[in-house]
Every structure is written in C-alpha cells, then in structure tokens.
Amino acid sequence: MLPGSGRDGRRRPGRGPRMTGLRTTWTEAGEGEFFCPGCGGDRNYQRMRGQVRLTVLGVPLLDRGETGPVVECAACGGRFGAEVLDHPTTARFSAMLRDAVHTVALAVLAAGGTGSRTALEAAAEGARAAGSDDCTADQLALLVRVIDEESASRCLGRPCETGIALELHETLAPLAPHLAPAGRESILLQAARVALADGPYRPAEREALAMVGAALTLPGEDVSRLLESAARTPS
C-alpha cells in the first residue's frame, strides 16, 4: 500500500501543525476491474491521480507536480501502484488458460491427429476440463479441417507452421508470465497426451510440441525431458 495522506488530502488526526509540508490531493482518473493484492480477489478499482502541493502552515502554496497514478480498491480501500493492473483478474486468467489449452490442442491435432478419434476425444476432454464446457471432438475436428484448408490456401499446400506458431505465441505469451513453471509444464503435458493418444509422437507433432514449449518460455531441455517422460508413462 502506498503511504500518503487521506483521500481528501487532509492531515491525519493526531499530528500537530507543521511549518511546511507536502499535501497530495487525489482526483479520480478512470475505473475498472482488477485483481486486488490487498484483499485477494477480482474487485472494482478507481485510478487516482495525485496533485502534490507544498503547504506552509497548512495552506497549499506551490505546485510540486503530479504523483501516481495509484489504483484504489473499491472493496478494501487499499492503494497500489499502477503496475497491479498488469496482473490479470481471476476471471481473465481463467479465460486465458481455457484459450491456451484449446489452442495448444488444436496445434497438436493439426500437426498429426486429424484422422484420429482417440486424439480428438483426448483433446476435447482436456479442453472441457480447462473450462471450454461445450468443446466436443466433432467441433475440434471441424476446426482442424478449417486450419488445414487455410494453410493449404495461404501456404500453397506447403506445411504452414508460421500461422500456428503465431497463434500459439499470441495465446501463450500473455499467459506465461503469470504461470508458475509447474503450470506451464502442465499445459505442455496436456498437449503431449493429445499427441500420444494415437501412438508415439509423429515428427510434426514433436515440432508442434516444441513450439508450445517455446511459446510457454520453457527451456528446450525441459521440454525434451517432459515429452520423453510423457511418452514413457502410459495414460
């Protein structure tokens, strides 16, 4: 929590008058929802901008510039630096995780599991567990066909890895910094299970999984180790 004067800029009670001091007046400058590190949940916030003035005998005289902005929690009243807004809300985080698992499954399926019902079922089950409640094997099969057709038209029939790599990066890069290593590893392992559902990794699946690991900012040697151990463990 940031130190400072009360919300109305008045001195806190219990302090005697001083010859000179600094007084900060806060004005509202926007609002939204954030994850409050003070009371630990998704809350509304108000962004506050502070005007610092030099006071002489309690009278504000000289402008000392702006301070903040700070973010004030509507629930607990805690004040934090604007960097707390970089942290996703719990709701946003769940949505990012859900999209990540879905995208990763699609990438692996597109790389080799298209024809396999077992792989599609495994992917749909994983996606549902991650929050894509209405995800089915048929729906994934349709999406994989769309990806195939798009790569065929955009990349003139050659393997179109750049599109999938880009998609993976866009979905996973914003999520990765907010996940502990175990969380990032679990997304990769889930993708590995999809690839392994219909037999050993195909070279294209192995490549897609390497892309997933890289987009999750997992070190290459960890990715290899995890993929090998997943292949040895019967699911």
* CA–CA separation, 232 and 47 (whole Å): 52
Q: Quick one: which of 75, 91, 142, 166 contacts Zn ion (CB under 5 A)?
A: 75
With CA atoms as reference, report the closest residue to 110 among 162, 60, 145: 145
CB of 228 to Zn ion, least distance (A): 44
Residues in the chain: 235
Q: Considering beta carbons, is residue 73 or 192 the nearer one to Zn ion?
A: 73
Q: How many residues bind Zn ion (CB under 5 A)?
A: 7
* CA–CA separation, 215 and 235 (whole Å): 25
Q: Considering beta carbons, is residue 84 or 211 the nearer one to Zn ion?
A: 84
Q: Considering beta carbons, is residue 79 or 193 the nearer one to Zn ion?
A: 79
Q: Are 185 and 152 in contact (CB under 8 A)?
A: no
Q: Considering beta carbons, is residue 23 or 43 the nearer one to Zn ion?
A: 43
CB of 38 to Zn ion, least distance (A): 4
* CA–CA separation, 5 and 14 (whole Å): 13
Q: Does 85 bind Zn ion (CB under 5 A)?
A: no
Q: Are 111 and 205 in contact (CB under 8 A)?
A: yes
Binding mask 34-63 for Zn ion (x = CB under 5 A): --x-xx------------------------
Q: Does 76 bind Zn ion (CB under 5 A)?
A: yes
* CA–CA separation, 220 and 231 (whole Å): 17
With CA atoms as reference, report the closest residue to 4 among 35, 25, 19: 25
Q: Considering beta carbons, is residue 68 or 78 the nearer one to Zn ion?
A: 78
* CA–CA separation, 56 and 59 (whole Å): 5
Q: Does 74 bind Zn ion (CB under 5 A)?
A: no
CB of 73 to Zn ion, least distance (A): 3
Binding site for Zn ion (CB under 5 A): 36, 38-39, 73, 75-76, 78
